[in-house]
Structure 1
């Protein structure tokens, strides 16, 4: 076992933050041999329970759960920052041409390395990511994640229509490939598979039906897709599926809404949609930098809280503009203040941080596994330096309480504030 002495940031079941100014985090092997958190709490209260355990002292630092990115596209790493009039032109002009290159496994493997480097540099230790329609792209990200011991969830995109050559797949083959990839990667080490229709307009009814059948057969895999991001996209989806009550209900009609189903964006919802998310246990991946960048709209936090469905934060790179969770949390704060149909919504720093850690873990069905510093959680955590830059040091030194400390990091922090990242109990 090994101990770390520093301030500790963790989360209670209600989403509120807990902060131990002088804390001890003890890491050791769990029942399956993986490194887990064995104890977390006040240093003086705990240290006597672990005689002889080597302790790394980190004065002035904060240990926090590794961030979780609920929705990101690893093949779009090089698409980030590409200008466009909106979602659909952006896909046509940048995304699809670039994703066509991922038929080459060597190319995919090179991008996977850069992608994982960026995640870890920014303190992201778990991600749910889209690959491309090429099975090689899944192999590339899974192989690279396995080498680093990461908890990663990924899936081959399904898109058998309304897609250009190079990324469009064959209906039957795409389903065969998906099942083969599930069997190859799901549950191997810390890896998980996600059945991944790109979005309803890119999938035929036969492909969506097959995806739903696979979701029923493999009940512990994840499902991921996009929904209600852009008004033009919604109009298109409703034209293609006129019998559906709403865009979201298309996925329900094909058996694709359940626990472990994560839908990106979920902007243009009514209360029936929100209730469907709640009742099926599905969750929203809120992507504020992407929504602001592409002019898609604002996630309705008031509606989500009022109806009560799971949600968490996501970068959505490459539509999103940063891998940095601090930037994502700040953008979500703007959305909460300015983008609501009803005034008065203000997302506090503890809530914002929870959405990117323990709340995101709950959305994934991984509560108690990742996203928190609690006994039994896997030992993925980050070392934060609140003095990483002169201005951040000046601001955090004057923080009167936890909210001011966390908000200073959200507003002024970037990758420089992530002093180190621990994956499975080992420095990455």
Structure 2
């Protein structure tokens, strides 16, 4: 575990966090040009103007000086696969051949605890380097992959969500377990869910790899543990959608398959959601489930373009995910970059403030973790990052011409990457600092 900080710490920089969605509230964010973040015992004690809060600090406590930088809550990535780290940027003509050629053979290796732990350590290093402090993570079908991931994340005292993938058909025999997977998932829930900062996600890979019997058993497990998460994929690719229609002809839609089994509820996160219709999004909104939009992955595999306007009209919760390894970057800044372009191609517009909201408080709300992560509300866990508007020569030059907060955030989103993350803190402890 990272070295525990002193009981009280303070950080001086520009501060940005949200209390509402900028798409629906023009006063959605709190911005303090010369701000102070005060952290006590790993939680936010106060956040506001330096001029107001400096006098509240004990004599002799000097704030960490990050002036010229921007402190925001740590990024929250709601969809990615840690076992796919080593196969990122693998060529394939589409989703289904990509799974067969790269994904399944790669995931086979995670029966080996040493391999799983080494990959988890690298994966968590990359998240910290990119400013991601919470992620919703797919492991593999192997119990060892889950144990290795949570052992590594708890050693760093990270707020992470993860789960064992469930498949009982339409996958290689070496990744299929028709009998033991539900029992293993329940054992893992009892071992890891709400242990330290770990949370468990019940994880059917997607409808084609789960039989009706397995989805029924998953539904029973979800009812037995209602505060766990559910994560899966839906409507990513046209060929996949057609395959689901053949496998589940009674369902109104792909999303309707999950709905029929009671898997749409708060803390249910559905990756991609590209080919959902208005009725699907309305159902998502009414059940409290959320869409995790993965633009770098969708562009890489040619899956399609997410419709932000359609989701917003229905009131559906929307988040952002990198979807490593189909996604091509661990960076949520790079993910914002591509989300902006996807929105433009669909005829809508994503302001930078909205993108930063989706990667912080918006994700926390979709995960039913508002007040725990994603903002600087008093009592929230002190997961935060320091962003450097001058991290690269081009970013520095553009930042020098920014006249508004929106322009500055837009420059960070469109020009930034891991180099723009000066430092990453989890529960008040520094877990990454960019080398000079």
- Fold similarity call, TM over 0.5: yes
Aligned counterparts of 1:289 and 1:58: Cα–Cα separation in 2: 31
1:290 aligned partner: 297
Aligned counterparts of 1:70 and 1:270: Cα–Cα separation in 2: 22
1:368 aligns with 2:380: no
2:159 aligned partner: 151
1:32 aligned partner: none
Residues 104-140 of structure 1: per-residue CA shift (max 9 Å, x gap): 1111111001100110000000000000011110001
1:392 aligned partner: 395
Give the unaligned 5+ runs of structure 1: 30-34
1:355 aligned partner: 358
1:75 aligned partner: 83
1:211 aligned partner: 218
Aligned counterparts of 2:29 and 2:408: Cα–Cα separation in 1: 12
Aligned counterparts of 2:175 and 2:157: Cα–Cα separation in 1: 30
Shift of 1:356: 0.9
Give the match's secondary structure for 1:54: coil
* Matches for 1:277-316 after TM superposition, within 5 Å: 277-316=284-323
Shift of 1:165: 2.3
Aligned counterparts of 1:398 and 1:20: Cα–Cα separation in 2: 20
1:54 aligns with 2:62: yes
Give the match's secondary structure for 2:174: coil
Q: TM-score, normalised by structure 2?
A: 0.95
Shift of 1:366: 0.8
* Matches for 1:225-240 after TM superposition, within 5 Å: 225-240=232-247
* Matches for 1:147-226 after TM superposition, within 5 Å: 147-170=155-178, 172-226=179-233
Shift of 1:54: 3.5
Residues 344-398 of structure 1: per-residue CA shift (max 9 Å, x gap): x111000011111111111111111111122121000011111111111111111
Shift of 1:40: 0.3
Aligned counterparts of 1:82 and 1:14: Cα–Cα separation in 2: 36
Shift of 1:14: 3.3
Aligned counterparts of 1:89 and 1:17: Cα–Cα separation in 2: 43
Q: TM-score, normalised by structure 1?
A: 0.96
1:416 aligned partner: 419
Deviates more, 1:346-355 or 1:55-64: 55-64
Residues 278-317 of structure 1: per-residue CA shift (max 9 Å, x gap): 1110000000000000000011111001111101100000
Give the match's secondary structure for 1:166: helix
Aligned counterparts of 1:14 and 1:294: Cα–Cα separation in 2: 30
1:20 aligned partner: 32
1:401 aligns with 2:404: yes
Aligned counterparts of 1:38 and 1:323: Cα–Cα separation in 2: 30
Aligned counterparts of 2:151 and 2:299: Cα–Cα separation in 1: 33
Shift of 1:48: 1.3
Deviates more, 1:45-54 or 1:265-274: 45-54
Give the match's secondary structure for 2:63: strand
Deviates more, 1:325-334 or 1:7-16: 7-16
Q: Which of these residues, 369, 375, 381, is aligned with residue 384 of structure 2?
A: 381
Aligned counterparts of 2:140 and 2:362: Cα–Cα separation in 1: 27
Aligned counterparts of 1:58 and 1:93: Cα–Cα separation in 2: 46
- Say if 2:32 and 2:48, in contact at 8 Å, map to a contact too: yes
Give the unaligned 5+ runs of structure 2: 1-7, 23-27, 432-436
Q: How many residues align?
A: 418
1:244 aligned partner: 251
Give the match's secondary structure for 2:175: coil
Shift of 1:88: 0.1
Residues 213-242 of structure 1: per-residue CA shift (max 9 Å, x gap): 010010100000000001110111111111
Superposition CA RMSD, Å:
0.9
- Say if 2:138 and 2:164, in contact at 8 Å, map to a contact too: yes
Shift of 1:327: 0.8
Aligned counterparts of 1:40 and 1:283: Cα–Cα separation in 2: 29
- Say if 2:74 and 2:384, in contact at 8 Å, map to a contact too: yes
